[in-house]
Chains A and B, each alone.
Chain A
Amino acid sequence: MKRETGLCFALYFSSFTIRRKFAMFTRYLFMLLSLLVVCLSISACGGGGASDDAPPSSRQAILVNAGTDISLNELGSAELSGAASGGSGIYTFEWQVPASITIEQASTDSASAIVTAPVVAEETSYTLSLIATDENGQTGQRSITLTVLPVNELPTVVINVNQLENYAPFAFPVNAEVVLDASQSFDLDPQSEEEAPLSYEWQQVAGTFALNGVATNESQLRFMTPVITRAETAQFMLSVRDQEGGVATARQTIEFVGEEGTLAVVDAGTAISVFSGEIVSLFGSVLNDAPNAGPYTFAWEVLNNSGVRVEQQLRETQSWQSQQVDAHFVAPNVAIDQVLSVELSVVDRFGKTVTDTVEITVYPKQKFLINDTGVSTFASSGQLSNIYQSAYPGQDAQYGADALAAANVDIKTGRGDEGFDFTRLNENGDPVDDQVNNNSQQAACLRDNITGLIWELKSSDTNAINYTAQAYTWYQEEDNGNDAGAINESGDSCNLSGTRCNTQAYIDAINALGLCGFSDWRLPNHYELQSIIHYGRAQSPSVDIAYFPNTGSADEYTAQVPLWYWTRQSSADGVSNDIARNAWAIDFANGLDNQLQKTSERKVRLVRAGRGN
């Protein structure tokens, strides 16, 4: 039974999937599904309905039915079917179609096939021919017309808007970059893959105009927000045109928050650690895209220690868009590590507050192994001051025992100017002064409670062996750089019995005397002698004058004459033939050091004990 009494022609638009050729759009795989079934009763046409107008030739004994003419939208599909009669045996079927037509025929045993319409710019007709061949090689042919109608899907507009930290979506401060990004817009039915599928046209339709000099025909619209005082709404319209001229539009509304809504960026600086009593440098800053948001009100506060007072210094500013807010505070005296939360709070002229916090770790008071310098003075440009200078941060006065002394953080065993810590000893080596009774008259020696060194004190008594004005040549039989120095055989610059006024002779005499009960006195090395230099004294001598009396005479102080004291250290500088003819000495008039000829006569202050170095 090859002849169909009723031909049911099913036409349906198959589901089809268009995958955009750009990989970035693959997540936008789009599926359209539609199904249309048209059932045509062709019983009225009889078996040969399509062949009425073409009588079979003598060689065309085969009658072919190819169905009716069909009409499809572009990319639409239809199922074709057909039948043959008048031949003998089994037929084979073949569809002949133009090259632009896609046709899928499962088997030549049947005329069933699926035809898919091409993309067209205008209505186009195509001829589809069905050829049937029977077992004897007899053929028959029938044609139908496929009419393809153009369809243009309008592009789909997608606009992505950048979002700024600390601002709501679609809200923008002044002088900020806005990026309206429509590059993810797409067209489902581009005509050509060689040309860009879409073209763009942006315009601003509301709000203070912001597109001067801005490219408005690209997929992204990038512009800077205008500087306006008050908040307002701005709207932008985008027209997207596809290759067939179809235009879709979309609007995007954003908010210009204006200077009144623009937030300053506040930075409270770097987290550091300090010791109790030291001065903490704080370097805060305010950056603001709004040029008229100032003047600001600044406040520094230690959130978790109300006893700490922070002093701030404003630096001059050229613009409210950038302001430095320096500050400092004295680290509190803590028993265990304490982390201070230090907040910088900034209020702009519109009343908005922005804060930032920095954590400062304070360690308990420090145990010092070397002496501080005695400097508690701050320098700025050509000036000396007792006040912290934020433009010259991290100076000597900010750290160490001197800073602790200035902050009344008690670290001392004894007493002394600035960070110095001395205890006077009597002739037997016993402590003779205390906080209550400053018993300097009995002092013969001085203990440095930081270095552990015990120092000889000088006398103003012209007959005393340790009379301050006495001078000695450098003479040392060991560790002397191959030059023991000068014995000074006929010296008359000292009160030693005998005539040798050299350093070794003086050491021998003091040890023989057993000063303060000790007989291991020696010349200090450079480090030891430098340790008692008081670099914070503006006048001669550069030493704690209350604890080292008679370093020179009053006249010598006034006249600022050098007060050179010997060290035991030969100088490596100026050595010739491996012989060091100079030794280091320090001038107690000003703290400067130098290498002096061992043959020259200088002052001597002996030392003992200590921790070395």
Chain B
Amino acid sequence: MRQLMIKRWLWVSLWAVLAFISYRSEAESLCPAAIPETANGNLYEELGEGEILHLPSDLVFMRCSLGQTWQNGACIGEADTFTWQEALQISIGYDYADSQNWRLPNVKELSVIAERACVRPAINEEAFPSTPADDFWTSTVSVQTQSGQSANGAWSVAFFNGTTSLRNVERNLHVRLVRTR
């Protein structure tokens, strides 16, 4: 009987350790309970080769940010940053996964993969591993000049919480490319 108790205690300890480990691994992104998901895994279909299809929009996104390398289901390396012009220029003819039709997503396209149930990063990390919780460029220029915004602003999506905001085009932001299926 005493041996059984010890065994149980061991089991409980093991589960506690496992639970702690899994908590630690999920702690990268904070997803408070009770907030509805907006871009969960059901909306995606894996295409292989580091591409993923967002079903509601029929858009194919790169799973890694530029600078990272898709390897065994993970995005390896540091995500690069680019000025807006660099981001546009690098997108044209970008050769990846047998396609040269990659482009910078516009502000509505990039916003559809924002997972508003999570922060830091506000994205589904299974679909888009190791996404920096930071600003990503869109292809959409800011046309409003009335509030002091001149043509040196472009829209970005901030994947720390999913918000859209204007950034000076000289800023260095991350890039995730998209293509139309």
> Which residues of chain A come closer than 8 Å to B108, judged between CB atoms?
370-373, 530-531, 533
Query: Which chain B residue shows the least CB distance to A397?
Result: B141
Query: Which chain A residue shows the least CB distance to B118?
Result: A572
Chain A nearest CB, measured from B111 CB (Å): 6
> Which residues of chain A come closer than 8 Å to B160, judged between CB atoms?
573
Instruction: Digitize B145-181: 1 where CB-to-A-CB distance is under 8 Å, 0 elsewhere.
Output: 1110011101100001111111001000000000010
Task: Given A273-B101, A395-B88, A572-B116, decide whether A482 and B57 contact each other with a Cβ distance below 8 A.
Answer: no
Query: Which chain B residue shows the least CB distance to A274?
Result: B101
Instruction: Digitize B99-110: 1 where CB-to-A-CB distance is under 8 Å, 0 elsewhere.
Output: 011011011110
- The answer to whether the Cβ of A584 comes within 8 Å of any Cβ in the partner chain is yes
- The answer to whether the Cβ of A480 comes within 8 Å of any Cβ in the partner chain is yes
Query: Which chain A residue shows the least CB distance to B181?
Result: A366
Interface range for B: 35 or more
Q: Given B104, B141, B145, which contacts A375 in the complex, CB threshold below 8 Å?
A: B141
Establish whether residues B89 and A393, one from each chain, have CB atoms under 8 Å apart when the complex forms: yes
Query: Which chain B residue shows the least CB distance to A480?
Result: B34
Establish whether residues B117 and A572, one from each chain, have CB atoms under 8 Å apart when the complex forms: yes
Which residues of chain B from 11 to 62 have a CB within 8 Å of any chain A CB? Answer: 30-36, 38-39, 43, 56-58
- The answer to whether the Cβ of B72 comes within 8 Å of any Cβ in the partner chain is no
Q: Most chain-A CB neighbours within 10 Å: which of B88, B118, B155?
A: B88
Q: Given B85, B152, B164, B180, which contacts A591 in the complex, CB threshold below 8 Å?
A: B164
Instruction: Digitize A394-431: 1 where CB-to-B-CB distance is under 8 Å, 0 elsewhere.
Output: 11111110000000000000000000000000000000
Q: Given A383, A384, A572, which contacts B31 in the complex, CB threshold below 8 Å?
A: A572
Instruction: Digitize B76-118: 1 where CB-to-A-CB distance is under 8 Å, 0 elsewhere.
Output: 0000000011001101110100001101101111011010111
Establish whether residues A573 and B161, one from each chain, have CB atoms under 8 Å apart when the complex forms: yes
> Which residues of chain B come closer than 8 Å to A611, judged between CB atoms?
56
Establish whether residues B92 and A479, one from each chain, have CB atoms under 8 Å apart when the complex forms: no
- The answer to whether the Cβ of A525 comes within 8 Å of any Cβ in the partner chain is yes
Q: Given A384, A395, A575, A613, which contacts B112 in the complex, CB threshold below 8 Å?
A: A613
CA distance A380 to B162 in the complex (A): 27
Establish whether residues B147 and A580, one from each chain, have CB atoms under 8 Å apart when the complex forms: no
Instruction: Digitize A277-293: 1 where CB-to-B-CB distance is under 8 Å, 0 elsewhere.
Output: 00001010000000000
> Which residues of chain B come closer than 8 Å to A459, judged between CB atoms?
none
Task: Given A373-B108, A382-B152, decide whether A540 and B164 contact each other with a Cβ distance below 8 A.
Answer: no
Q: Which residues of A contact B (CB under 8 A)?
A: 269-275, 281, 283, 366, 369-373, 375, 377-380, 382-384, 391-400, 479-482, 525-527, 530-531, 533, 535-540, 542, 560, 569-573, 575, 578, 580, 584, 590-595, 611-613
6 A-B pairs in the complex with CB atoms less than 8 angstroms apart: A270-B100, A370-B109, A526-B114, A537-B143, A539-B146, A572-B118
Ranked 3 nearest A-B pairs via Cβ: A270-B93, A379-B141, A573-B161
